[in-house]
Structure 1
């Protein structure tokens, strides 16, 4: 049976609505049960008092005893009912959050599989087409060099994508052993910026890097961090907009800033973009390439190096990603 497209889009809404309607029904039944028990308790009190004889010398003592039993029963119902209601609400909230998180994660994983399939097929298809063109046609030296350069660029892109997926999985499972050493972060950032300048020769990458700033960390992870941030800036900026890379010392810390001139990130999504698989927009409408792992990996690497990463608006438009690392 085919599920309507409208239901697919509103799946989480319908699940949430059904869950809370069912929970409200259970709570209403619970309250009705309490009212029924309390009513029966009151009726038993009236019945037992009505059976007493007023001329009995111990009448008032018996009334007091019955009233005490009635109040103890009410306290028992209130105590047990409140405890069960609290446990039920806590359990309901826990289950709701767990199920909601699982549904969102499942949806994000589906989007990730769609995106990563496209990201893997595109460089392979481009490389294959270039190589087939070189085999089938007699091209001059400049044309061959251009096709080879294009193929190499796609191979590098494919390698970076595989590295992102592999390192993310290893960091999450604890399988990646971080080998910390003293690194010249200035040289590392400059090297990354130079590589992107060669790969994207038509783009402008401005650098202002204070030399000989050192941090303690893993070379490969920090290289991935910087590469992902620069590539992200290039990806979301227009071709005529420059990307700026700044590195400076800041009171026992090193500050790295990557500024772009793109559309910017809404305030409500500035934290969300660091979540795994999260991407602004929908898979059906967005045109920018990506898998939703780059910024998540940046956040993870920064945290593992006891640093911070933040986003602020660039003027007049765009975003600035700022990484603060401890210097040595």
Structure 2
């Protein structure tokens, strides 16, 4: 049986068992309510049969017995409705919690599959390139090409490691956010120049307004920008440009990263910022990644009191827009 069908089958089985037990509990509740009501009516009838018709207080006693039976009925109904409400509230809570755990388990499985591939690939490429350089006498151009490929894979491995470590520290509260004045314009310029050098075969365009300062964590803000640019590189055709823009507008600092890839469906636009979430099936997905990059971007932006959203680029692709409040 293919591995990809197991989580869905388990979830379907758990859901079926859950609904069966819930319906059984509710049916049992109604059953006991009917039995108690029948017992209450039998007790009232028994007490009425014991009354003497010639008793001067006969009618008063009949009213008391009926009144007591009515109070019992209201008591049973009140208790039954209370139990029913608590059962339904608990059922909703448990159902959502179980489904959430299944989703988390599936996401973690996808992450482990992705991280295994992401770790093995750069290590294997770097090892192969170094062994080639060691065993063969290559001309200068081929040597530089292999060295460049090795550096790219090393940088990719470094980015992956940073994402995992920072994500774990931010999630567990182990990372202490540093607040200092940063020249975001200078940071953006340096990063884009580095990307141009690291990926000489790709085309980068950027427009950066000078002297844009922000109070924040330098490392996290660099990771945020790098992850957005990396994401654009992964999902863009090699011949299309990756565009980066940093500017001020209407009392805010705006960062835009545009690509000309396949774009993101509307129903996935919010999900892509979830931890470990990636569009498509991990077993058939070809694009590199672990599902941590955009999650980290969202986390970093939120911690810096900003917002991030994704919209469609024209004619194709995506635009990731970050907005920070402009500091006075």
Match of 2:122 in 1: 123
Deviation digits for residues 63-87 of structure 1 (CA, Å, limit 9, x no counterpart)? 1111121111111111111111111
Match of 1:224 in 2: 223
Contact 2:4 2:283 in 1 (8 A): no
Match of 1:35 in 2: 34
Deviation digits for residues 161-184 of structure 1 (CA, Å, limit 9, x no counterpart)? 000000001111111111111111
Contact 2:122 2:156 in 1 (8 A): yes
Match of 1:100 in 2: 99
Give the CA deviation at 1:190.
Answer: 2.0
Give the CA deviation at 1:109.
Answer: 0.6
Match of 2:58 in 1: 59
Give the CA deviation at 1:324.
Answer: 0.5
Residue 51 to residue 4, structure 1, CA distance change in 2 (3 Å): farther
Match of 2:169 in 1: 170
Separation in structure 2 between the aligned mates of residue 72 and residue 35 of structure 1, nearest angstrom = 15
Residue 157 to residue 91, structure 1, CA distance change in 2 (3 Å): same
Please list every run of 5 or more consecutive structure 2 residues that lacks an aligned counterpart in the other structure: none
Asked if residue 149 in structure 1 is aligned to residue 148 in structure 2, the reply is yes
2:247 counterpart SS class: strand
Give the CA deviation at 1:151.
Answer: 0.8
Separation in structure 2 between the aligned mates of residue 119 and residue 6 of structure 1, nearest angstrom = 23
Contact 1:184 1:214 in 2 (8 A): yes
TM-score, length basis structure 1: 0.96
1:10 counterpart SS class: helix
Separation in structure 2 between the aligned mates of residue 48 and residue 92 of structure 1, nearest angstrom = 41
Give the CA deviation at 1:7.
Answer: 4.6
Give the CA deviation at 1:155.
Answer: 0.7
Give the CA deviation at 1:299.
Answer: 0.6
Taking only aligned residues, the RMSD between alpha carbons, in angstroms, comes to: 1.5
Asked if residue 303 in structure 1 is aligned to residue 305 in structure 2, the reply is no
Please list every run of 5 or more consecutive structure 1 residues that lacks an aligned counterpart in the other structure: none
Separation in structure 2 between the aligned mates of residue 5 and residue 139 of structure 1, nearest angstrom = 44
Contact 1:254 1:325 in 2 (8 A): yes
Match of 2:89 in 1: 90
Contact 1:213 1:327 in 2 (8 A): no
Higher alpha-carbon deviation: 270-279 or 11-20: 11-20
Separation in structure 2 between the aligned mates of residue 7 and residue 257 of structure 1, nearest angstrom = 40
Contact 1:112 1:277 in 2 (8 A): yes
Contact 2:7 2:106 in 1 (8 A): no
Give the CA deviation at 1:152.
Answer: 1.0
Give the CA deviation at 1:5.
Answer: 6.9
Contact 2:183 2:213 in 1 (8 A): yes
Deviation digits for residues 34-68 of structure 1 (CA, Å, limit 9, x no counterpart)? 11211221222223223222221111111111112
Contact 1:186 1:213 in 2 (8 A): yes
Match of 2:232 in 1: 233
1:282 counterpart SS class: coil
Separation in structure 2 between the aligned mates of residue 120 and residue 7 of structure 1, nearest angstrom = 25
Contact 1:311 1:322 in 2 (8 A): yes
Residue 163 to residue 10, structure 1, CA distance change in 2 (3 Å): same
Match of 2:179 in 1: 180
Give the CA deviation at 1:189.
Answer: 1.7
2:311 counterpart SS class: strand
